[in-house]
């Protein structure tokens, strides 16, 4: 557990300002799958312009923000409900950075103890870290009673990471820019997913860097394309069979060149009855769209017994964005 001064201010550390009234606030925030991901050439800031369609899935991170005793002197601490050596709990964790940023912007002098329960695969291309940040922002905002409105939180979310605003919004949305400029998309029905997990994560910057190398090797300049009408029509109709062929991910080749074995995972999922399987975001999670929960069980079983994956998770979608649950 780390002890970080949120707003140190010499001589002020004992002056705790309490505006909220609850002693703890629990917030849930979802991970995501990209139904469509079109990637352009990186700009001067190194970020790649995107056109993407996010769908929030029922794999949910839970962040509990607890009020500290007065003698904690305005620190931000974070602990995991289940220890995971791959997840840092110091200032490099996006949830801690979210709390620190909110405290800095709003002038809150009080600290917070964050407790995080992880259900989204770590470094899996499903924005689990971003969901932690979204949940921490909302939980601290309630706990501290800052009065910051939703638009203000979305601004802070975009400063923390490209996928953080979507975890606040949830449901289904088109993302432009870095993926942080969002427009909600009309979607009917429920979509069933099976996620095939890899034993080790992939770094998002490494996948984007590989994407750039592959483009340079082929002498092409990538450009984003708009979301195809077939995809938005399938979502409007609530039709997973029509959605399947419209699923698309420009990072597929880059992720497969770093993890060639994922091609076999995709093939196994489709052979076992998935309507379509794709790399989720920057990978290495493979997301298999299935017609119903019976086929979900069959696909999960086939993947588990293939020896190709570290495990599977099943989830339906879309679900709401970050929300207080207690
Ligand atoms: O915004 P976030 O911190 O989640 O992004 C992680 C990394 O992924 C960035 O530092 C960048 O290398 C890469 N990225 C990108 N273009 C995007 C989103 C992320 O190149 N639109």
DSSP letters of 152-185? HHHHHHHHH-TTHHHHHHBSEEEEETTTTEEEE-
Query: How many residues in total does the chain contain?
Result: 326
Nearest-angstrom CA–CA distance, 305 and 277? 17
Nearest-angstrom CA–CA distance, 161 and 311? 27
Whether residue 292 contacts residue 105, with contact meaning beta carbons closer than 8 Å, is answered with: no
CB atoms within 10 A of CB 126: 29
Nearest-angstrom CA–CA distance, 286 and 288? 6
Ranges of residues in the chain whose predicted pLDDT is under 50? 1-4, 6-18
Instruction: Report the separation in Å between the CA atom of 66 and the middle of ligand 1, taken as the mean of its atom positions.
Output: 30
Instruction: Report the separation in Å between the CA atom of 45 and the middle of ligand 1, taken as the mean of its atom positions.
Output: 10
Helices (H) and strands (E) in the chain, counts: 10, 13
Q: Give the list of residues 6+ apart from residue 310 with CB closer than 8 angstroms, or none.
A: 197, 198, 199
Q: pLDDT at position 11, please?
A: 32
Q: Is there an atom of ligand 1 within 6 Å of 179 CB?
A: yes
Among 113, 163, 180, 250, the active-site one is 163
Q: pLDDT at position 69, please?
A: 82
The torsion defined by the Cα of 135, 139, 142 and 148, in degrees rounded to 10, comes to -40
Of ligand 1's atoms, which has the minimum distance to the CA of residue 208?
A: 20
Q: Is there an atom of ligand 1 within 6 Å of 48 CB?
A: yes
Instruction: Report the separation in Å between the CA atom of 48 and the middle of ligand 1, taken as the mean of its atom positions.
Output: 7
Instruction: Please say if 109 is a catalytic residue.
Output: no
Mutate to test the pocket of ligand 1, among 38, 47, 164 (most ligand atoms within 8 A of CB): 47
Nearest-angstrom CA–CA distance, 291 and 237? 14
Q: pLDDT at position 3, please?
A: 35
Q: pLDDT at position 73, please?
A: 78
Instruction: Report the separation in Å between the CA atom of 125 and the middle of ligand 1, taken as the mean of its atom positions.
Output: 11
Q: Give the list of residues 6+ apart from residue 226 with CB closer than 8 angstroms, or none.
A: 38, 51
**DSSP class of 122:** T
Q: pLDDT at position 19, please?
A: 55
> From residue 121, how far is each of 124, 129, 143 by CA, in Å?
5, 9, 27
Among 32, 109, 132, 180, the active-site one is 32
Q: Which stretches of the chain are DSSP H helices?
A: 94-106, 128-144, 150-160, 164-169, 204-218, 229-237, 240-243, 252-258, 262-271, 293-306
Nearest-CA residue for ligand 1 atom 13 is: 205
Instruction: Please say if 163 is a catalytic residue.
Output: yes
Nearest-angstrom CA–CA distance, 64 and 25? 6
Classified as helix, coil or strand, 62 is strand
pLDDT per position as a tens digit, 215-241:
999 999 999 999 999 999 999 999 999
Burial 198-223 (b: 16+ CB within 10 A, else e): beebbebeebbebbbeebeeeeeebe
Q: pLDDT at position 302, please?
A: 98
Enumerate the β-bridge partners of residue 297.
none
For 67-91, the DSSP string reads: PPPGGG-SEEEEEESS--TTS--ST
Mutate to test the pocket of ligand 1, among 204, 209, 254 (most ligand atoms within 8 A of CB): 204
Of ligand 1's atoms, which has the minimum distance to the CA of residue 50?
A: 21
Nearest-angstrom CA–CA distance, 248 and 265? 17
Q: Which residue has the tokens 């002498």?
A: 219
Q: Is there an atom of ligand 1 within 6 Å of 162 CB?
A: yes
Whether residue 33 contacts residue 57, with contact meaning beta carbons closer than 8 Å, is answered with: yes
Instruction: Report the separation in Å between the CA atom of 61 and the middle of ligand 1, taken as the mean of its atom positions.
Output: 21
């Amino acid at each position: 557990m780390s002890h970080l001064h949120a707003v140190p201010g010499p001589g002020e550390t004992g002056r705790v300002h309490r505006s909220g009234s609850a002693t703890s606030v629990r917030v849930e925030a979802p991970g995501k799958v990209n139904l469509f991901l079109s990637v352009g050439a990186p700009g001067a800031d190194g970020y790649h312009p995107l056109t993407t369609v996010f769908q929030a899935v029922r794999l949910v991170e839970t962040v509990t923000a607890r009020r500290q005793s007065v003698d904690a002197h305005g620190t931000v601490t974070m602990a995991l409900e289940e220890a995971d050596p791959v997840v840092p709990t110091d200032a490099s964790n996006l949830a801690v950075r979210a709390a620190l940023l909110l405290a800095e912007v709003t002038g809150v002098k009080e600290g917070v103890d964050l407790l995080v329960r992880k259900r989204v695969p770590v470094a899996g291309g499903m924005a689990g870290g971003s969901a932690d940040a979204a949940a921490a922002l909302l939980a601290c905002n309630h706990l501290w009673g800052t009065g910051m409105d939703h638009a203000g939180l979305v601004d802070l979310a975009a400063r923390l990471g490209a996928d953080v605003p979507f975890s606040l919004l949830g449901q289904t949305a088109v993302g432009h820019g870095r993926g942080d400029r969002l427009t909600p998309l009309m979607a009917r029905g429920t979509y069933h997913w099976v996620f095939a997990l890899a034993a080790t994560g992939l770094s998002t910057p490494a996948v984007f860097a590989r994407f750039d190398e592959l483009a340079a090797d082929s002498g092409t300049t990538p450009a984003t394309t708009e979301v195809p009408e077939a995809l938005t029509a399938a979502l409007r109709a609530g039709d997973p069979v029509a959605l399947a062929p419209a699923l698309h991910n420009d990072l597929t080749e880059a992720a497969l060149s770093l993890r060639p074995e994922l091609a076999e995972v995709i093939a196994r999922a489709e052979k076992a009855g998935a309507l379509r399987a794709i790399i989720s975001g920057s990978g290495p999670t493979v997301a298999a769209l299935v017609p119903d929960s019976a086929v979900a069980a069959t696909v999960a079983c086939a993947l588990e017994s293939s020896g190709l994956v570290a495990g599977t998770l099943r989830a339906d979608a879309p679900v709401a964005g970050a929300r207080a649950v207690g």
